[in-house]
Amino acid sequence: MIGLGLVLALACSTVPPQEDRSQFVAISEAVPDVILEIRYFSTYNFVGDRIDGYLAPKAYLTKEAADSLRAVSEDVIGLGYRLKIYDAYRPQKAVDHFVRWAADIPDVRMKPYFYPDLDKSVLFDQMYIMEKSGHTRGSTVDLTLFDMNTEKELDMGGTFDWFGPESHPDFCGNPDTGEYDAEAAAANPRGLTELQFRNRLILRRAMLRHGFKPLSSEWWHFTLNNEPFPDTYFTFPVD
């Protein structure tokens, strides 16, 4: 199934569906207040190299997702924050790069920074790496909050792309009720403080208010509820 917007765009085009970028916009144009730190254009990511398909430090989303993200931005600016984007649309070429890297078991250059508690051989089985990503459909974004008062990222108690339970939204608490679990935090050497847990909730609640849904394993990852291309995995580069 191809989204209606893409069908209409292709009516006047010979571009294959997965290569058509006409329904996408640059986040920095749609949401001028965002800060970009595109990790896969840099070498500071779990692979340790620039990722295939990232030819520029830019971020794209479908028009619908970008519109909703602009509403989130306006919301959090009123609270003293700005959105900081790590990744958004991700070309299939990048996902293929992750898969090749995960199969190269000896390459553990970035293990101390992103997966110190895991043997690299389990990344497929535990679904940290998969052959398809929701990012490739164009309506998923990885982000955090930047505190305008401290001029630093808000302390979320963990880094983007950390492979482990510490990244789960329900780590040390219930994100739906907002209840912090002090006992669970005390029992884990990387347990969140109550402030860190509540900082994650600020981002989560703002995203949910404006039509995004969370992922159960990553506090930074959100997908538009009514994504326009739920079955199309795009291939055009980030350039």
Residue 39: inside a domain: yes
* Interacting residues of 38 by C-beta distance below 8 A, sequence separation 6+: 54, 57, 58, 59, 85, 86, 87, 238
Residue 234: inside a domain: no
pLDDT at 3: 55
Residue 1: inside a domain: no
Residue 62: inside a domain: yes
Residue 187: inside a domain: yes
Residue 173: inside a domain: yes
Residue 5: inside a domain: no
CB 223 within 8 A of CB 6: no
Give the model confidence (pLDDT) of 9-59 as tens digits.
444 457 788 999 999 999 999 999 999 999 999 999 999 999 999 999 999
- Which of the two residues, 218 and 8, has the higher pLDDT score? 218
End-to-end CA distance of the chain: 27
Q: How far apart are CA 238 and CA 118, in angstroms?
A: 30
CATH code assigned at 218: 3.30.1380.10
Residue 116: inside a domain: yes
Whole domain around residue 100: which residue ranges? 23-224
Query: How many domains is the chain partitioned into structurally?
Result: 1
Q: How far apart are CA 166 and CA 172, in angstroms?
A: 8
Alpha helical stretches, state H, 39-124: 63-77, 92-103, 111-114
pLDDT at 11: 45
User: What pTM does this model have?
Assistant: 0.93
pLDDT at 210: 98
The answer, yes or no, to whether residue 86 has pLDDT greater than 80, is: yes
pLDDT at 178: 97
Burial class (CB in 10 A: 0-12, 13-18, 19+), 14: exposed
Q: How far apart are CA 11 and CA 111, in angstroms?
A: 47
pLDDT at 13: 54
Average pLDDT estimate for 55-69:
98
Alpha helical stretches, state H, 78-210: 92-103, 111-114, 182-187, 194-209
Mean pLDDT of the chain: 94
Residues carrying an active site annotation: 218
